[in-house]
């Protein structure tokens, strides 16, 4: 989905925990390219809400993912 489909403040689910599976989680498809672990997603501003990894500001989250290689991450709150 594009950024326009998720305005700032909208809750976007990036992944869901799958405790009964061999993998610990499953991506939803809403995560930006380059996000390869839930730990990295959390470092870029995503948060766990129960069994769902979410962001409430997809634009800021995507910005942090793109700039993570710079070693500079903004606080997305």
Residue 2: pLDDT above 50? no
Contact (Cβ atoms closer than 8 angstroms) between residue 49 and residue 22 = no
- Looking at per-residue pLDDT, the higher value among 67 and 53 belongs to 53
Number of domains comprising the chain: 1
Residue 18 lies in a domain: yes
Q: Tell me the average pLDDT across 49-72.
A: 88
Answer whether residue 27 is part of any domain.
Answer: yes
Q: Which pLDDT score is estimated for 76?
A: 55
- Asked if residue 77 is part of any domain, the answer here is no
Domain that holds residue 35: 3-69
Residue 74, in any domain of the structure: no
Q: What is the tens place of the pLDDT at every residue in 14-43?
A: 999 998 888 889 999 999 999 999 999 999
Dist. CA 46–CA 55, nearest whole Å: 5
Element (H, E) at 15: strand 12-17
Q: How far, in Å, CA of 58 to CA of 69, rounded?
A: 18
Residue 75 domain-assigned (yes or no): no
């Amino acid at each position: 989905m594009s950024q326009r489909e998720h305005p700032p403040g909208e809750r976007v689910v990036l992944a869901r925990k799958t405790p009964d599976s061999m993998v610990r989680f499953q991506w939803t498809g809403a995560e930006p390219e380059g996000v390869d672990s839930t730990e990295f997603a959390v470092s870029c501003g995503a948060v766990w809400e129960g069994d769902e990894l979410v962001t409430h500001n997809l634009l800021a989250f995507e910005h942090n993912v793109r700039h993570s290689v710079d070693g500079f991450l903004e606080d997305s709150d």
